[in-house]
Amino acid sequence: MHKTELILNTPENFNFIRTVFSHGWCTLAPFRFDKEDKTLYRLLILNSNFPVLCRIAQRGKSDLQITATHAAEISPRQKSEITRQVASCLRLTEDIAEFYNEIRKFPKYRWIIRIKAGRLLRSPSVFEDVVKMICTTNCSWSLTETIVGNLVGELGIPFDDSQNCFPSAEALTSTTDRFLRKAIRAGYRSPYILEFAEKVANKKIDVERWRSPGLSTDSLYRELLSIKGVGSYAAGNILKLLGHYNYLGLDSWSRGEYYRIYHKGRAVKDQTIEKRYRPYGKWKGLLFWMEMTKHWYDHKFPF
């Protein structure tokens, strides 16, 4: 195996741990976080079929150190592709300052600026984020981990005996509904995953384009809802990973947190929740998520 050391500069308002722990993605394969060493591990794919294991850790105040392990020498272009993918996962190029400027007007939310939170970890590809989001619907987190772990273990390109990359759309289309149900345990989500993978593999939709700047949030939301298995919860949260925060993406967990924080556990209509966050405009989805997960930062990350 070959090793390559890379340095990634980070913005002043970036916090590595807050970003890794922004939601549960860091526990889903092929992400892995070592809490002892405060190190994020991630398998990346270069040139469609060349796996690279990245060990990502804080180095000093404003740098990340990436230790890439790979089976053959890599070119300068491949090195820059590694840093590009890691930067994209950690949202390093996203201008979070605009969000901070907006919430600075509200003293109760200044804690977000103080701890440099607000960047949400995402996958190297939109395809992976969408598949994973479908796998979070209507089930426990442990089942999501099982389904994603099985997808990676059964269909991903192997890096070594114990670690695989996230499978491509093409790899998923080579399977069957029965395989996804029985071997992957994806249940009724199986035809949804298969249909989405087929659309991507056959280039009927170009989901990676969704990360392009300047796209209309509402048209992206409608496009997401047209994917079978993606409803308002999934679409709202996929949008957050695309850098659009206009939708709350409510689910039973976040509703429960809202009821607990604002209504002593009593259920209220979704419209009531929407109304509370309306003043925050295009940032309301991000602000909602930060507020519902504040206790993770105060106490302990639950995953």
| Residue ranges binding DNA (CB under 7 A) | 23-24, 136-143, 146, 181-182, 185, 187-189, 192, 225, 227-235, 237, 251-254, 256, 302-303
Write the DSSP string, 288-300.
HHHHHTHHHHHT-
Residue 11 or 24: the one with the smaller Cβ distance to DNA is 24
Output the smallest distance, CB 145 to DNA, in A.
Answer: 10
Output the smallest distance, CB 291 to DNA, in A.
Answer: 15
Output the smallest distance, CB 23 to DNA, in A.
Answer: 5
**CB distance 85 to 52 below 8 Å:** no
Mapping DSSP to helix (H, G, I), strand (E, B) and coil, where does residue 63 land? strand
Output the smallest distance, CB 227 to DNA, in A.
Answer: 6
Bond from prior residue into 30 cis (ω within 30 degrees of 0):
yes
Output the smallest distance, CB 183 to DNA, in A.
Answer: 10
Residue 37 or 270: the one with the smaller Cβ distance to DNA is 270
Output the smallest distance, CB 256 to DNA, in A.
Answer: 7
Residue 52 or 227: the one with the smaller Cβ distance to DNA is 227
Residue 138 or 174: the one with the smaller Cβ distance to DNA is 138
Output the smallest distance, CB 200 to DNA, in A.
Answer: 16
The strand pairing partners of 164, in sequence order, are 158
Residue 109 or 192: the one with the smaller Cβ distance to DNA is 192
42 to 53, 161, 213, 276: CA distances (angstroms): 6, 16, 25, 37
| Total length of the chain | 303
Continuous segment of H or E residues that includes residue 4: strand 2-9
280 Cβ neighbours under 8 A, 6+ residues apart = 102, 103, 287
**CB distance 238 to 130 below 8 Å:** yes
Q: Which tokens in the block code for residue 133? A: 């989001």
122 Cβ neighbours under 8 A, 6+ residues apart = 25, 88, 89, 91, 129, 241
Residue 97 or 225: the one with the smaller Cβ distance to DNA is 225
Residue 18 or 79: the one with the smaller Cβ distance to DNA is 18
